[in-house]
Amino acid sequence: MSIQTERRSFEMIVDAERFRTDKGPWFGKLPEQLGRDYSFAVMGDRCGMSIDGVFEQGLEVLRDMKPDFVLFVGDLIEGYWRDPASAHEEWDYIDARIERTGLPFFQTIGNHDFGTQAMADVWSERKGHEYYAFRTGDSLFLIVNTEDPFEELSDEFIGMIKRATEGVKREPDRASEHLKAFYDEIVAGLSPEQLKQMGQITLAIGERQLAFFEKVLADNADAKITFISMHRPGWKAEDASFAKLEKLLEGREYAIFSGHLHSMEYTKRDNRRYIQLGRTGASPHGNGRGDENLMLWVTVTDGKPSFRVLHLDGIGDIEQYPPTAHHHDKE
């Protein structure tokens, strides 16, 4: 394995032997002037079972706010296609809208993006690299693929996903009802043992990928902080590959961003932060504040990060506020 690097204003790091391509799951490049102080946004799942227009609204908000770049934690498209044409159609739509913002945008693979062999083939054709890293100043970023290899679902299960997705698309105001019907359909066909397993988080990070990140971390031992983007929250799984990744990160200050569960959570343990992003367009899995549509704003000042949550459900267009006559009662 060799690691290809390109050192300009920032360093892009890829596994060039495994992925022999000039394509990548990113748009644009970091600004030339980026230094120790910068800001970036993290967007949560757009899918599964997306609510039309929400992710697009998030892109418009970020275009106005102008972060230095955007991280995305996976599940950009509904996916789970067996035919490549349908996958290409979904990617054509959302890629065009991301590119239109003009913002540097770094993607992470999610299960919806990569859940069948056809989806994996389309990813390879369009985006090339399944995992990668980059560095800017004293900050190192690892973009991890937790679908390595992807979990093969049955045609029956994919059919259930498709029916629920169509229901949400047809009746977005009844998204919670369609999700409940989806889960009820799943539960009805499971044994008690399968029901127990259903609540467990699983993921896969292949040995070659781990070897890549081991070398990246060794070559960047002087980085002051490391940010990791992965779709599935590895800290919630009993998984040997994630445990090995955390062993490689030992002694570093780091923050891990994930998605998958559509609900915002924050945990800090010593020099480690675990941030599970809420949804940015996907259907809700609950009805708490963390289940609202949101994005994360990260400001790095002199190598130290701070985090602010932006709730899209509370952001409105100016046209929604027409003038009205106001009357003040006399005291």
Non-local CB neighbours of 2 within 8 Å, separated by 6+ positions: 15, 16, 17
Please say whether the beta carbons of 126 and 23 come within 8 A: yes
Average pLDDT, the chain: 92
pLDDT greater than 70 at residue 196: no
The tens digit of pLDDT for each residue in 148-182 reads: 999 999 999 999 999 999 999 999 999 999 999 99
Q: How many residues does the chain have?
A: 331
Residues 276-282 have a mean pLDDT of 98
The tens digit of pLDDT for each residue in 310-322 reads: 999 888 888 888 8
User: Which domains, ranges and CATH numbers included, belong to the chain?
Assistant: 3-153+205-315 (3.60.21.10)
Cross-strand bridge partners of residue 188: none
pLDDT greater than 50 at residue 121: yes
pLDDT greater than 70 at residue 273: yes
- CA-closest candidate to residue 47, choices 275, 291, 265, 281: 281
pLDDT level of residue 262 (50, 70, 90 thresholds): very high
Task: Report the pLDDT value the prediction gives residue 8, as an integer from 0 to 100.
Answer: 46
**Paired tokens of 136:** 């800017």
Residues 18-26 have a mean pLDDT of 96
pLDDT greater than 90 at residue 224: yes
pLDDT level of residue 327 (50, 70, 90 thresholds): low
Q: How far apart are CA 28 and CA 287, in angstroms?
A: 36
